Amino acid sequence: MSGRRYLVLMGPPGAGKGTQASRIAEEGGMCKISTGDLLREAVAAGTELGRKAEKTMKAGELVSDEIVLGLIRERLGRPDAAAGFILDGYPRNVAQAEALDALLAELGQPIDAVVLMDIDPAVLFKRLTGRRSCPSCGKVFNIYSAPSEKGDRCDAEVHAGIEAPMLVQRKDDREDVIENRLRVYERETRPLVDHYRDRGLLRVVKADGPVERVSAEFLRAAGGG
Ligand code: ADP
Ligand code: ADP
């Protein structure tokens, strides 16, 4: 991706946002900023914020706008974010989008593009129930489409030479919670498509294909290589 880019990545749970954000950010020297990751870190660390968010996340509901804005404000204020960022999972409703506009105006870093990962909902269930991740390094796998080379343990380089951690399944990747998360997406987040289309920022990427093909389309859509 050429030049400094400030991007927002949107799409339903399981569309592949985290996977693409990691690849594109690494390639372009940008920061991947995921509110889901920041919240899960707070839960794992047992902070007060994490304790407040945990029950809501387990139910597949949205954590309060105030909590996530606090997290995103702190993260976007760090110097590395000025070099370019991909926001994964924020904003998730119209109030968050308005708060983000105000924050980015303050920082002098307006959004260049909003990439919507468009996908057949029927694909999502398998992606989500098959998702596994490393509790130590965060690498994301899929038992169907992207299995670990080490079976149920993480195959990331960082664990070379030691016994690699066992992969885990997110508590909210259970079938009943997935259903609710998809409903919450339709009700709260989908309206942002019009919000950003009206502002001329929306780019749509088909997210059903293999990871590499989606990345190539993403780069074209977001105005890079
Ligand atoms: P997915 O990758 O499956 O879309 P995330 O990892 O982005 O899910 O988010 C997991 C959970 O964290 C959400 O279901 C929600 O409870 C909480 N969360 C993440 N981002 C936000 C946000 N911007 N606003 C409110 N809650 C959020
Ligand atoms: P999101 O952040 O949108 O919830 P993830 O990037 O975590 O989505 O992807 C959800 C699951 O689907 C993960 O297990 C991931 O390995 C897998 N996955 C991601 N992109 C693809 C793809 N293009 N084809 C097949 N599986 C994919």
17 is catalytic: yes
Q: Which neighbouring-strand residues pair with 209?
A: none
Burial class (CB in 10 A: 0-12, 13-18, 19+), 17: buried
Per-position pLDDT tens, the chain of length 225 = 656 889 999 999 999 999 999 999 998 899 999 999 999 999 999 999 999 999 999 999 999 999 999 999 999 999 999 999 999 999 999 999 999 999 999 999 999 999 999 999 889 999 999 999 999 999 999 999 999 999 999 999 999 889 999 999 999 999 999 999 999 999 999 999 999 999 999 999 999 999 999 999 999 999 754
Ligand 1 site: residues with CB under 6 angstroms?
13-14, 17-18, 35-36, 39, 56-57, 60-63, 68, 89-90, 92, 96, 172, 181
From the list 66, 72, 68, 105, the residue with the least C-alpha distance to 87 is 72
Distance 107 CA to ligand 2 centre (A): 31
Cα dihedral value 14, 15, 17, 18, nearest 10: 30
Give whole-number Cα distances, 26 to 19, 56, 72, 147, 169, in Å. Answer: 11, 31, 20, 21, 24
> H or E stretch including 115?
strand 113-118
CB atoms within 10 A of CB 12: 23
Name the residue type at position 12.
P
Q: Give the sign of the dihedral formed by CA 74, CA 21, CA 126, CA 205.
A: positive
Gap between the Cα atoms of 54 and 63, Å rounded: 9
**Count of alpha carbons within 13 angstroms of residue 76, beta-carbon side:** 29
Distance 116 CA to ligand 2 centre (A): 14
pTM here is 0.95
Ligand 1 atom with the shortest distance to the CA of 60: 14
Ligand nearest to the CA of 183: 1
The CA angle 81-42-22, to the nearest 5 degrees, is 45
* 8 A C-beta contact, residue 63 and residue 57: yes
